[in-house]
């Protein structure tokens, strides 16, 4: 009897798997795929985040294709670094939903700008876009300066060391910056090692990663009973509690000011500077203000999307400069032209505009090391591309890291060469080949902010320290986590800068 039950369950399971598999396979069978095993599909090829990029690169090469088909359990994924296909996907006004992996972010971010779709995404995107106007970004330069100054002080203790990992310094600085700009509050992540908020942000990054890696954790029915889920709940209690309390305090302050007849800037809080939060509190959709929950979703989204991404970009830029002395020298000369030998003068918005060569360095770094190496779209309704139906429910992986290192678009792609982005060499005619910030309607809303922050932070470091390669030579071991992570750290050495 037991045997029969087990047999029925197994046959039923395999039957369901086959029906699901076939519903996708019959449409996309002409897309090349690595060898498939029943049920598990290609799961054995992708077991750790550190293997994803090397496995994908070797599969694209072996199958001599720019688009791949991958099956893992019940899931079918098409992975692409094909220019035309990317143009089709990223420029689409209708293929705007995110892949299934983004659901692991829902508990923390709810349906904020990154994770929502449909009408909610459209109205919120329209409402939030003016928040990134350059006039507002200009106000944030002070924050980049003051938090960068703390980082410079912290780095002092590494002077003379043959090798150290710069990532922890930069990531705490980026966290301080995003808290101050998004919420107008100071969590002091760089000075207070015990900052609970900072710890919980870090915990969430790890938890989301671990959840993504283990297929068992993908199913909420199982996940909710795991230790990891308990850790997530504990972290979210702190994170949501903090954001909620900042929102309600700020709302009360704004209401008090609105009632008061003598409205001064100081009345609306300790800080004169506007934070993203203030704009969200004042924004309305068809005359209706956002609810506290909607505001929290957006603020938390900025916290998540706006700190590790930028930190990774800053770290890899420092790494590239350390390992390419001629590029570093040219970037430093540019800074000397702007600031002379005055290391204390604060950088202004205008100074950042003048750092043209540094901007080329940053862009080339994001080509070789895109902070978000892979992202995805979900097909909500069957759609036809190139005579092939992309069936509803299928995820399409966008391989930014792959296309940006493809010799068809970037000759000699492994070479770090900022000249590629010199105005005479880069005319932006292939906008879907360089996509560190994605492209089209769902591109990164924070890209101008990110470039400014990266230039402000890197220039601050360069004005104080000469960057050197680590000894022994450090080779980055890259892993496709929620950001492009060097699992062995981003190691460099520093000396006091000489003028
Ligand atoms: C070097 C730094 C950054 C990189 C490389 C980067 C990259 C990206 C990419 C690739 C996407 C598209 C993701 C997808 O399609 O799933 C994205 C979306 C987004 N980014 Fe960034 N980002 C950076 C910094 C920032 C910053 C500083 C903020 C906020 C202050 C931010 C806020 C967002 C938001 C809200 C979205 C979702 C936009 C939408 O779907 O409408 N990002 N980013």
CA atoms lying within 13 Å on the CB side of residue 257: 16
Q: How far apart are CA 61 and CA 63, in angstroms?
A: 6
Q: What is the pLDDT of residues 123-144, one digit of tens each?
A: 999 999 988 888 889 999 999 9
Q: What is the pLDDT of residues 67-80, one digit of tens each?
A: 999 888 778 889 99
- Ligand 1 atom closest to residue 301's alpha carbon, by position in its atom list: 35
Ligand 1 centroid to Cα of residue 249, in Å, is: 27
Q: Is the omega angle on the peptide bond into residue 472 within 30 degrees of 0, that is, cis?
A: yes
- Ligand 1 atom closest to residue 99's alpha carbon, by position in its atom list: 16
Residue 448 class from Cβ within 10 Å (0-12 exposed, 13-18 middle, 19+ buried)?
Answer: middle
The phi, psi pair for 30, rounded to 5°, reads -80, -5
CA distances for 347 relative to 108, 146, 152, 155, 206, angstroms:
35, 10, 14, 19, 34
> Cα–chain-centroid distance for residue 105?
13
Q: Check residue 99 and report its DSSP letter.
A: P
- The residue whose CA has the least distance to atom 11 of ligand 1 is 444
Coil, strand, or helix at residue 218?
Answer: helix
DSSP letters, 435-492, are -TT--GGGS-TTHHHHHHHHHHHHHHHHHHEEEEE-SSPP---EEESSSEEETT--EE
pLDDT at 203 over 90: no
pLDDT at 272: 58
- CB distance 309 to ligand 1 below 6 Å: yes
- Ligand 1 atom closest to residue 371's alpha carbon, by position in its atom list: 5
DSSP letters, 168-186, are HHHHHHHHHHHHHHHHS--
Coil, strand, or helix at residue 297?
Answer: helix
The phi, psi pair for 325, rounded to 5°, reads -55, -35
Q: What is the pLDDT of residues 477-487, one digit of tens each?
A: 999 887 899 99
Q: How far apart are CA 275 and CA 98, in angstroms?
A: 28
Name residues whose C-beta falls within 8 Å of residue 335's C-beta, 6 or more positions apart in sequence: 355, 358, 459, 462, 463
Task: Report the percent of the chain where pLDDT is more than 70.
Answer: 97
User: Among 258, 288, 250, 284, which residue's Cα sits nearest to residue 128?
Assistant: 284
Q: Which residue intervals of 92-166 are DSSP H helices?
A: 106-109, 118-128, 134-139, 141-155
User: Is the distance from CB of 140 to CB of 451 less than 8 angstroms?
Assistant: no
Confidence at 309, pLDDT banded by 50, 70, 90: very high
pLDDT at 269: 47
pLDDT at 214 over 60: yes
User: Is the distance from CB of 415 to CB of 424 less than 8 angstroms?
Assistant: no
The phi, psi pair for 67, rounded to 5°, reads -135, 135
Confidence at 282, pLDDT banded by 50, 70, 90: confident
The phi, psi pair for 89, rounded to 5°, reads -70, -50
**Widest CA span in the chain:** 86
pLDDT at 264: 52
pLDDT at 261: 55
Q: What is the pLDDT of residues 384-411, one digit of tens each?
A: 999 999 999 999 999 999 999 999 999 9
Q: Minimum mean pLDDT among 255-269, 292-306, 365-379: which range?
A: 255-269
**Average pLDDT for residues 261-282, to the nearest whole number?**
66
Task: Report the percent of the chain where pLDDT is more than 90.
Answer: 65
Would you state the structure tokens that stand for residue 2, as one six-digit string? Answer: 């037991």
**H or E stretch at 336:** helix 325-339
User: Is the distance from CB of 431 to CB of 396 less than 8 angstroms?
Assistant: no
- CB distance 310 to ligand 1 below 6 Å: yes
Q: How far apart are CA 468 and CA 496, in angstroms?
A: 11
Ligand 1 centroid to Cα of residue 310, in Å, is: 10
Q: What is the pLDDT of residues 342-390, one digit of tens each?
A: 999 999 999 999 999 999 999 999 999 999 999 999 999 999 999 999 9
Q: What is the pLDDT of residues 110-125, one digit of tens each?
A: 999 999 999 999 999 9
pLDDT at 59 over 50: yes
Residue to probe by mutation, ligand 1, list 301, 444, 452, 454, most atoms within 8 Å of CB = 444
**H or E stretch at 205:** helix 196-213
pLDDT at 342: 93
Pairing mode of beta strands 395-399, 75-80: parallel
Q: What is the chain's mean pLDDT, rounded?
A: 91
Residue 46 class from Cβ within 10 Å (0-12 exposed, 13-18 middle, 19+ buried)?
Answer: middle
pLDDT at 266 over 60: no
Q: What is the pLDDT of residues 149-172, one digit of tens each?
A: 999 999 999 999 999 999 999 999
**Average pLDDT for residues 236-258, to the nearest whole number?**
87
Coil, strand, or helix at residue 70?
Answer: strand
Q: How far apart are CA 372 and CA 369, in angstroms?
A: 8
- Ligand 1 atom closest to residue 276's alpha carbon, by position in its atom list: 30
Ligand 1 centroid to Cα of residue 250, in Å, is: 25
- CB distance 99 to ligand 1 below 6 Å: no
pLDDT at 262: 54
Ranges of each domain in the chain: 2-496
User: Among 298, 318, 34, 287, which residue's Cα sits nearest to residue 169?
Assistant: 318
Q: How far apart are CA 415 and CA 402, in angstroms?
A: 15
**Average pLDDT for residues 452-463, to the nearest whole number?**
98
CATH architecture of the domain covering 2-496: Orthogonal Bundle (1.10)
């Amino acid at each position: 009897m037991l045997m029969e039950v087990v047999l029925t369950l197994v046959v039923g399971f395999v039957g369901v798997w086959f029906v699901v598999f076939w519903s996708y396979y019959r449409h996309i069978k002409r897309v090349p795929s690595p060898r498939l095993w029943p049920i598990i599909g290609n799961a054995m090829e992708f077991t750790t985040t550190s293997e994803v990029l090397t496995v994908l690169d070797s599969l694209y090469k072996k199958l001599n294709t720019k688009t791949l088909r991958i099956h893992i359990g019940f899931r079918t994924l098409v992975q692409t670094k094909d220019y035309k296909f990317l143009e089709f996907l990223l420029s689409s006004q209708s293929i705007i939903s995110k892949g299934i992996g983004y659901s692991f972010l829902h508990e923390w971010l709810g349906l904020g700008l990154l994770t929502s779709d449909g009408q909610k995404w459209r109205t919120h995107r329209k409402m939030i876009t003016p928040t990134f106007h350059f006039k507002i970004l200009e106000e944030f330069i002070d924050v980049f300066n003051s938090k960068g100054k703390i980082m410079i002080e912290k780095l002092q203790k590494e002077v003379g060391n043959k090798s150290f990992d710069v990532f922890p310094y930069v990531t705490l600085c980026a966290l301080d910056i995003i808290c101050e700009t998004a919420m107008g509050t100071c969590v002091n992540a760089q000075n207070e090692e015990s900052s609970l908020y900072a710890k919980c942000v870090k915990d969430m990054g790890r938890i989301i990663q671990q959840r993504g890696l283990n297929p068992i954790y993908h199913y909420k029915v199982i996940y909710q009973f795991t230790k990891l889920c308990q850790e997530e709940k504990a972290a979210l209690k702190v994170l949501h509690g903090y954001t909620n309390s900042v929102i309600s305090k700020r709302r009360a302050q704004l209401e008090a000011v609105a009632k008061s007849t003598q409205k001064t800037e100081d009345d609306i809080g300790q800080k004169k500077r506007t934070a993203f939060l203030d704009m969200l509190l004042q924004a309305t959709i068809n005359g209706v203000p956002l609810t506290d929950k909607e505001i929290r979703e957006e603020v938390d989204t900025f916290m998540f999307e706006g700190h590790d991404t930028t930190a990774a970009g800053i770290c890899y830029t420092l790494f590239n400069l350390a390992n390419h002395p001629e590029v570093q020298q040219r970037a430093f000369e540019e800074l000397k032209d702007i600031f002379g030998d005055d290391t204390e003068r604060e950088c202004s918005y205008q100074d950042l505009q003048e750092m043209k060569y540094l901007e080329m360095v940053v862009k080339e770094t994001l080509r070789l090391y895109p902070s978000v190496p892979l992202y995805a779209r979900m097909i909500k309704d069957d759609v036809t591309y190139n005579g092939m139906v992309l069936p509803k429910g299928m995820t399409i992986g966008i391989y930014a890291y792959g296309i940006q290192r493809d010799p068809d678009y970037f000759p000699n792609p492994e070479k770090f060469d900022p000249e590629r982005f010199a105005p005479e060499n880069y005319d932006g005619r292939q906008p879907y080949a360089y996509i560190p910030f994605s492209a089209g309607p769902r591109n990164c809303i924070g890209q101008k902010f990110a470039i400014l922050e990266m230039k402000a932070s890197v220039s601050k470091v360069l004005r104080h320290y000469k960057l050197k390669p680590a000894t022994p030579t450090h080779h980055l071991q890259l892993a496709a986590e929620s950001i492009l992570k060097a699992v062995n750290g981003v190691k460099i050495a520093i000396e006091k800068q000489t003028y």
